[in-house]
Amino acid sequence: MKPSKLTASGLYRPEFEKDSCGFGLIAQMDDKPSHWLVSTSIDALARLTHRGAVAADGKTGDGCGLLMKKPDAFLRAKAMEQGIELGKLYAVGMIFLNQDEGKAAFARKILKTEVAKEGLSIKGWRPVPVNTEACGEQALLTLPKIEQLFVGAPDAMEPAELDRLLYIARRRAEKLIEHQDEVFYVTSLSSSVISYKGLVMPEALPVFYLDLKDPSLASSICVFHQRFATNTFPQWRLAQPFRYLAHNGEINTIEGNRSWAQARSFTFETPLIPSLDDIRPWVSMEGSDSSSMDNMLEGLRAGGMDIFRIMRMLVPPAWQNMDAMDSDLRAFYEYNSMHMEAWDGPAAIVMTDGRYASCSLDRNGLRPARYVITKDRHITLASEIGVYPYKPEDVVAKGRLKPGEMLAADTLTGKLLLPKDIDEQLKNRQPYRKWLAKNTQYLSTPRKSDPLTSDPLSEELLAVYEKFFQVTFEEKDQVLKVLANAGQEAIGSMGDDKPLPVLSKQVRSLYDNFRQQFAQVTNPPIDPIREQVVMSLETCFGREKNMFTETAEHAARLVCDSPVLSESKFRQLLAMDETNYSHAVISLAYSAESSLRGAIEAVCQKAEEAARSGKVILALSDRCLKEDELVISAVLATGAIHHHLVKSGLRCNVNLVIETGTARDSHQVAVLIGYGASAVYPYLAYETLHSMMVAGEVNGQSESDLAKAYRRGINKGLYKITSKMGISTIGSYRGAQLFECVGLA
C-alpha cells in the first residue's frame, strides 16, 4: 500500500495543496429525513463530474463525497447487526485505517484510550462494506481500511457537549498516531453528522459505499462536493466534504492564516476546553487550504462560538468601503476584524452541523452559489443551477448569493435565514458600536502640514545612509521622483531581464531575492483600480484578546488607514498611552566582530523579553549607523522575530513596526508586511525626497504634498501587489509570505 499522505519531495510541498471544485447541498427544511434526498444528492453530485478531473485509469477522481445529517434509524439497525447496543445519545465516526492490521489495531487502541479519558465509551466498530471494483488503479494503491466507530455517552449529556469531548479526544489521538501512521484519518466523528467520501468518480460513490444504496439510509441534510485538485495530488483524506464544510475556491492567504491561527491559539481561553494544549496546533500546517479552514471552524465551534459569527469572521464581506451598511452591522465586522484576519480568496462554502445547512460567499463573489426552494420544502443550493430535475411549477423561491452574503436553512425551526436575518442576529449580539466609540482610537494626520521629516539629516550623513542602503541615482530618478511627482509608480514595459541577484555581478538589495507570487489556474486576480471597493489597507495596533469572550476591552485598538506611516504618525504611535500601547525600540545594529546568526538570535531574544515585559509596539530600527557596527537587514529581522514570537506564544501580544532605510518602494514594503510587519516607516525615502526637494529635483509642491503623493503611490503599489494574488485586505496579506525566494539559503 502506498502512503496516502504525501510528504515534501523535490519541488513538491504539502503546503501548496489547493483545490477548486463543484459543490452543493440539499436539505428538507422541516427535518424530515428520506432516502430520496440522499439519492438525489448523489445524482446532483454526478452532474458536477465536469468540475473535477479523472486519472488515466478512468476511475480515479480527485475526490468526492457526502456529508449528511446522521441517519439514525439506519445506523441503529447496522449497529444491532454487529451486536452493538446504542443508548439514547451516541456518536458515529467514519475512520480511515491502515491496511496493515498492526497499525490499524494501534489506532483503535489509542482512540479507545483517549475517548475513555473524556468519560465516554466505544461501543464497537463496524467494517463499512465497500466494492473496490469502483476504484481505479491509482485509488487502490492508497485505499485505506474504512470502519465506523460507535461511541456511547450518558443519556443526560447534551449533544454539543458530546461533540466537544469527542473533538478533544480526537485531537489527542491524532497527535499520537499521525507521525506513526500516515494513513489514519478521522473523516467525521459526531453525534449529528456522518461523512462518506473517497477517490472515486461521483457516479461510482454509491457503488463503492454500499450503504448509500440502502433504502433505509435516510437523511434530511446532505452536503456534496466534487474536488478539482489544482496543481496538486488527489488523496483520500483531502476529498471533501470535511467534518463541517465543503469549499469551492482557493484561500490565497493560507500560509499566513495557519501561522496566525497557531499564534492566536495562545490567546484563546474557554472553560469548554480546559486544556488547550490538547488541541494545538489549532489547524493543520499541511494538507489543503480547505482542510485548514475546516480545522479552524471546528476548533472555534468546540470552544462554544456561534457558527454564524465564525463564518462572518473567516469570510467577511467588504465592510470597510460599504458606506450604506447599517452602522451596527459595520461595527460588528470592525470589532471582529481586530482579532481575526479574513481567510481571503475566491470562496463559496457550504456546510452543516446537523441543524443548519448554510452557504457563505467571499467578498468578491468569485464563486457562484444559486438556490431553489420547492413546494415540498426542499432547498437545493449548488455551484450551478439544475443539479436535479425538479418541475418549474414546484419552485416557490429561487435566487443567488451576492458577494459576501450568507444563507442558512434552520431545520430545527424550519426557517430560511436570509442574509439580512443572519446580519440582524449578529449585529444585536453586543453593543459593538458603543464599544468601538469608547475604546477604539485612530492615528490622525495633522491638519496643517505633515512634512517629510522634521529634523533632516545633514548632506554628509545622508550620503552615508544612501550609500549604506544602496540608494542609487537610478532609484532616485525613476522610483522616488516619480512617486512624489505623480503619486503612483512609474509606468514601464513588461519584463525583467536583470539576472537573479545570486547570479548578478552587482550588489543587489536583499528584497530583490523575493519574487511576488500571483494568482493562476482557477484563481482570478483582482482589478486594483475598478475593484478597489472590496480592498482595504486598514491596519490595527494593540494586543489581541481572547476571541471566545466579547467585552468592551476587546475594542481597545489603534487603527490606521495604511501600513505606510508618515513621520507624524510614527511619532504618534510611539507616544500612545503606556497601558495599551507601550513600546520598545529594538536596534538592528550589531558589532562588526559578531556573526549575523548570533545578531539575529540576539534581536529575537530582545523582542521576546520586551513582549514578556508587556510591550505592545516593537519598533525595529536600523537608524543607527556607526563606524564599527553592521545592521541586520530589516526583512531578515522581521521574519525571524515574527516566527520566534509565534513559537513563543507571544506574537499576538505585540505589533512589529519597522523604521527602516531599506524599504523605499512598494515591493520592499510588501515584503516586510508579508513577513509579519504591522507597519513600515520608510524614513530614508523621506530624507532622500527632502534632499531632492531642496535641490529642486522634484515638482514645486509643498513638502507635505510630496509626502502625501509618495505614500499614495506606495499604497497604490500595495493594492496592485495584493490584488494580483487575489487578496483584498492587507490584514490577510500580513504574514502570508507569498514570495518565492531565489538565491537565499
Q: How far is CA 209 from CA 65, 99, 652, in A?
A: 10, 17, 45
pLDDT one-digit tens code per residue, 504-518: 888 889 999 999 988
Q: Which amino acid makes up residue 206? A: P
**Regarding beta strands 558-560 and 441-442, do their DSSP bridges make them parallel or antiparallel, or are they unpaired?**
parallel
Does the pLDDT at position 11 exceed 70? no
Cell 512598494 -> residue: 666
Contact, 40 vs 388, CB < 8 A?
Answer: yes
User: Could you tell me how far CA 251 lies from the centroid of its own chain?
Assistant: 6
Predicted local distance difference test score (pLDDT) of residue 232: 66
| Half-sphere exposure of residue 608: CA atoms within 13 angstroms, side-chain side | 15
Which of 21, 135, 560, 604 is labelled catalytic?
A: 21
pLDDT one-digit tens code per residue, 373-392: 999 999 999 998 889 999 99
The pTM is what?
0.93
pLDDT one-digit tens code per residue, 174-208: 999 988 999 999 999 999 999 999 999 999 999 99
| Half-sphere exposure of residue 264: CA atoms within 13 angstroms, side-chain side | 21
* Gap between the Cα atoms of 297 and 183, Å rounded: 23
Least confident of 86-90, 698-702, 730-734: 698-702
The whole-number average pLDDT for the span 353-357 is 98
Predicted local distance difference test score (pLDDT) of residue 20: 53
Residue 19: pLDDT band by 50, 70, 90 thresholds? very low
The answer for residues whose C-beta is within 8 angstroms of residue 384's C-beta and 6 or more apart is: 22, 48, 368, 370
- Which of 738, 609, 654, 601 lies closest to 264, judged by CA? 654
21 annotated active-site: yes
The whole-number average pLDDT for the span 679-692 is 97
Predicted local distance difference test score (pLDDT) of residue 56: 83
Does the pLDDT at position 578 exceed 90? no
Q: How far is CA 377 from CA 40, 164, 565, in A?
A: 15, 31, 55
Question: 520 or 470: which carries more pLDDT confidence?
Answer: 470
Domains annotated for the chain, with CATH where assigned, are 18-436 (3.60.20.10), 457-489+508-546+553-741 (3.20.20.70)
The answer for residues whose C-beta is within 8 angstroms of residue 447's C-beta and 6 or more apart is: none
The answer for residues whose C-beta is within 8 angstroms of residue 36's C-beta and 6 or more apart is: none
Length of the chain: 745
The whole-number average pLDDT for the span 434-453 is 88
Average pLDDT for the chain: 93
Helical H segments across 318-386, by residue range: 327-337
Residue 609: pLDDT band by 50, 70, 90 thresholds? very high
First to last CA, the chain: 36
* Gap between the Cα atoms of 613 and 590, Å rounded: 23
Predicted local distance difference test score (pLDDT) of residue 13: 52
Residue 394 DSSP SS3: helix
Residue 494: pLDDT band by 50, 70, 90 thresholds? low
* Gap between the Cα atoms of 267 and 340, Å rounded: 12
Q: How far is CA 28 from CA 247, 375, 376, 422, 664, in A?
A: 21, 11, 8, 20, 58
- Which of 201, 237, 196 lies closest to 98, judged by CA? 237
The whole-number average pLDDT for the span 640-654 is 96
Phi–psi pair at 397, nearest 5 degrees: -160, 150
User: Over pLDDT 70: what percentage of the chain?
Assistant: 96
What's the DSSP call for residue 285?
S
* Gap between the Cα atoms of 318 and 535, Å rounded: 7
pLDDT one-digit tens code per residue, 123-154: 999 999 999 999 999 999 999 999 999 999 99
- Which of 111, 62, 67 lies closest to 236, judged by CA? 62
Which residues sit opposite 373 in a β-bridge?
379, 397
Does the pLDDT at position 52 exceed 90? no
Predicted local distance difference test score (pLDDT) of residue 690: 96
> H/E element holding 207?
helix 205-208
The whole-number average pLDDT for the span 450-475 is 94
Least confident of 3-7, 356-360, 597-601: 3-7
Beta strands in 527-659 (DSSP E): 539-541, 558-560, 583-587, 589-591, 617-621, 629-631, 655-659
Does the pLDDT at position 12 exceed 60? no
Contact, 182 vs 6, CB < 8 A?
Answer: no
Predicted local distance difference test score (pLDDT) of residue 2: 52
* Gap between the Cα atoms of 374 and 46, Å rounded: 21
- Which of 456, 526, 529, 534 lies closest to 489, judged by CA? 529
Residue 234: pLDDT band by 50, 70, 90 thresholds? confident
Predicted local distance difference test score (pLDDT) of residue 84: 97
Contact, 267 vs 544, CB < 8 A?
Answer: yes
Residue 31 DSSP SS3: coil
- Residue 178 CB neighbours (<10 A): 15
The whole-number average pLDDT for the span 327-352 is 96
* Gap between the Cα atoms of 433 and 647, Å rounded: 34
Predicted local distance difference test score (pLDDT) of residue 743: 83
* Gap between the Cα atoms of 666 and 674, Å rounded: 12
* Gap between the Cα atoms of 316 and 135, Å rounded: 39
